[in-house]
Amino acid sequence: MSLGKCCISGFKHDGTPVGAIEEINGVRTYVTLPKGDYDKTKAVLFLTDIFGIDTLPNGLLLADSYAANGYATYMPDLLNGDPVPMDAFQKGEFDLGAWFPHHGADVTRPPIDKVLRAMRDKGFTKVAAIGFCFGARYVVDLVLDNAVQAAMVAHPSLLEVPADIEKLKQSSVPFLWNNAGDDHGGFNPDVQKQARAILEGSAAHKWLVWDKVDHGFAIRGDPSDETQRKAADGAFEATVQFFNDKL
C-alpha cells in the first residue's frame, strides 16, 4: 500500500498548541502534559502523518486533546526535520515518489524507538501508540514487536494486506481501527473488508468505520463540515475510551 494524493489533502486547523518542542533522547519531540495530577504510568506515543510536527498544527492540537484527557503525549519528529511542506498541502501537489525514499523504516523507526525508550525511563509502563496515515505503519510495527500496550490507527497507509493483518491477528495487544468509510487511499473499503474478515473473532481488535468521510478525516478533516467534524470527534472519543478501558 503506497502513499497517494489523498495523503497531502485536507484542512489546516485553527488553534494554538499548548505543549512544547523538547529534545528527548536526541529527538525533537512535541510534548504535551495533562494539567494537575495524572497517572504517570500511562502515556500516548503519537506518530504523525507526512506533515510531521512542523508543517501543520493539526497533530499538535490533537495531541493536546489527549493530554487534556489525562494522557501525557509525546510526538517525535519521525520525519527528521523533513516533512512535506506547507506549499504542497496548499496546492495539493507534491512529488511523493521523490520524498518517500528518504523516509523509509531505516531512518524513521530509530527516532520513534529513542523516544519510546525515554518514555520508559520516565516511568511510563503503559504506552499506547497512535498513528495517522504514514504514522500508522509504525504503530503496526510497534505492536508486532510487543513494544506498546495498546494501539490505534486512523486511515492507515503503507500496510501490506493481507500479510500485516495476518500477523496482527496473532497479537494480543488491544488495537483500535478508525477507518474512513469513503477512503480513497490504499486502505479503501475493499481492502478494509479483506482486513476485517481476517481479524474476525480476534478479541484484541476493535473495528470502527466512520461513514461518508475520506482518508485523513481524523486529523485533517474539515471542522466546518458537520459530518467530518462528528467523525473526527467520534474517532477521538472512541480512542480515549478504548485506552481508558485497556490500559
pLDDT, tens digit (0-9, with 9 covering 90-100), for 136-194 = 999 999 999 999 999 999 999 999 999 999 999 999 999 999 999 999 888 999 999 99
Kindly report, residue by residue over 52-79, the tens digit of the pLDDT. 999 899 999 999 999 999 999 999 999 9
Helix or strand or coil: residue 233? helix
Check: CATH 3.40.50.1820 for 5-246? yes
Helix pair 226-246, 58-68: axis angle to 10 deg:
40
Pairing of strands 42-47, 27-32: unpaired
Q: What are phi and psi of 244, to 5 degrees?
A: -60, -40
pTM of the model as a whole: 0.95
Q: What are phi and psi of 96, to 5 degrees?
A: -65, -30
Side-chain-facing half-sphere of 69: CA atoms under 13 Å: 16
Question: In this model, does residue 5 exceed pLDDT 60?
Answer: no
Q: How far is CA 179 from the centre of its chain?
A: 12
Pairing of strands 27-32, 72-76: antiparallel
Q: For residues 131 and 78, give the distance between their C-alpha atoms in angstroms, rounded to a whole number.
A: 11
Q: For residues 101 and 96, give the distance between their C-alpha atoms in angstroms, rounded to a whole number.
A: 9
CB neighbours of residue 226 within 10 Å: 9
